[in-house]
Amino acid sequence: MNRKWVVLWTAVAVVVAFAAGVGVFTSRSNQEARQAARTHGEALVRAHSPVFGNPAAKVTIVEFFDPACETCRVFYPIVKRMVNASFGQVRLVVRYAPLHQGSDTAVKILEAARQQGKYWEALERTLAAQPEWAAHHRPQPAMIWDLIGDLGLDMAKARADADGPAIDRLLRQDVADMQALKVDRTPGFFVNGTPLREFGEAQLRALVAQELDKAGAR
């Protein structure tokens, strides 16, 4: 055989094997993620988590969220609109996946604000100013205290709460659940327990629509 063909066919064979490997790996990891969500169903929603929207909604979006993650920042208004446009059929449960350096501190500050009923205001300010405090080589989550300084919080209490055991326990539980559910990047979405495997806004909308149909909500 012509040696040029040997080279070409070898290259083609490697490319085909690569593509086959991608297929096998993707379907296997999708399988594992679904399996993890099934066997650890209790890990998806905890009583301690912030809920946005109708608590009795038929469809629950669980978002594993990192306040320092840019994509989470982009998705926040998208998911908020989805919940608001659902007429009480869809709710969002926020879980924490502090994968970035400094994210744990940011989460603790947000949870401290939540104890005084200012969670969503604090969250929106934190996300709006994310480029300032969350630079990945030098995160300064303590800056969030200044961002939420005029929300009318009892700041002394909030600072004490942020370092307190209750919030620490909540964060540890979320991290443990994140690991059990094999969430390794944020935002990690589950809709009524089904993990969003192929990431994207359209895919998330499709999954929510599918679950709304299943729930007979449309």
Closer residue to another protein (CB): 59 or 178: 178
The reply on whether position 146 binds another protein by CB under 8 A is no
Least distance (Å) between residue 5 CB and another protein: 10
Cβ neighbour number for residue 197 with a 10 Å cutoff: 15
In Å, how far are 14, 23, 190, 191 from 208, measured between CA atoms? Answer: 38, 25, 9, 6
The reply on whether position 137 binds another protein by CB under 8 A is yes
The reply on whether position 2 binds another protein by CB under 8 A is yes
**Helix (H/G/I), strand (E/B), else coil: 188:** strand
Least distance (Å) between residue 55 CB and another protein: 35
Cβ proximity of 101 and 140 under 8 Å: no
Q: Which of 216, 214, 218, 176 is nearest to 193 (CA)?
A: 214
Q: Which stretch binds another protein (CB under 8 A): 9-17, 59-67, 74-82, 154-162?
A: 9-17
Closer residue to another protein (CB): 10 or 84: 10
Residue 91: is it exposed, middle or buried by C-beta count within 10 angstroms (0-12/13-18/19+)? buried
Torsion sign over Cα 206, 188, 107, 100: negative
Pick from 132, 154, 163, 184 the residue near another protein by CB under 8 A.
Answer: 184
Least distance (Å) between residue 17 CB and another protein: 7
Cβ proximity of 108 and 75 under 8 Å: no
The reply on whether position 16 binds another protein by CB under 8 A is no
Residues lying near another protein in the complex (CB under 8 A) are found at 2-4, 6-7, 10-11, 14-15, 17-18, 21-22, 25-26, 137, 184-185
